[in-house]
Structures are given as structure tokens and as C-alpha cells.
Amino acid sequence: MKILFVDDERDVEDLFRQKFRKEIKSGHLELAFAFSGQEALDLLNSEDPPKFVYVFSDINMPGMSGLELLEEIKSRFPAIQVSMISAYGDQENYDKAMSSGAKGFFTKPVDFEKLKLEIAALTSGK
């Protein structure tokens, strides 16, 4: 199962790869990383249909914001689930994300247990 993380912080990749080390090793999970909204879209567009089933995106990014990316993905690939991860856990962002079709809303610092549960639910649902 392929999951894409979008964040402008490059260390996110190391962090998530290490956090999901076991799942990756066992082959349950395949992670990909993009460091801007555009890069994420390019990656999704490179395969047809994309194999990604879930996108986690930061909201505050230079260039395309996470919310814009959310709308973009939802209009092009409605099958892909999208959740937001943001340091700004305010009501406005939450409402906007939810009304644009986000599945979930995680606040930073990320609670990895919750994130793992979310992903596990996805795997078992499949």
C-alpha cells in the first residue's frame, strides 16, 4: 500500500521512514515523500492510475498550500484519501479541510500512535 507524505520539511522523510521502519521492512507499507504541493501532484500524475491510496499533507507550505493540494487531488483522483497535518490546529483550517473532503486532521506534533491506527484501519479495510 502506497502512502504519500507532503511536507516542505525534508527531515519529515527520515522521521516517518524510521517511525514506520517495521511496516516498511515487512512490506506492508510503501512510503513516498514530496516536498511541495506541485511535486506531490507531479508524482501522482506520473502513474495512471496512481497506486497511492492515502496522502498526508502539511497545510503551510510555500507555493501551493496543503488545502489547495487537497482540492486538486480530490478533483483529479477522488479515490485517494487525503488527511491534513498542521501545526495550526485552528478551527478555520479544520473546517476548510473537512469541507473540502479531507478524511482526517492531525495536529503537530504528530501523534504517531493515532497515525498508525489510521493507517492500520486503511489496511484492514482493504
Binding site for other proteins (CB under 8 A): 9, 11, 14-15, 18-19, 87-88, 90-91, 108-110, 112
- The size of the chain, in residues, is 126
Comparing CB distances to other proteins, the nearer of 81 and 86 is 86
- Whose Cβ is closer to other proteins: residue 9's or residue 42's? 9
Query: What are the Cα distances from residue 101, in Å, to 17, 30, 78, 124?
Result: 27, 24, 9, 22
Distance CA 124, CA 112 (A): 18
Q: Is the Cβ of residue 17 or residue 76 nearer to other proteins in the bound state? A: 17
Q: Which three cell numbers stand for residue 60?
A: 503551510
Least separation in angstroms between residue 96's CB and other proteins is: 16
Quote the least distance from Cβ 90 to other proteins, whole Å.
Answer: 8
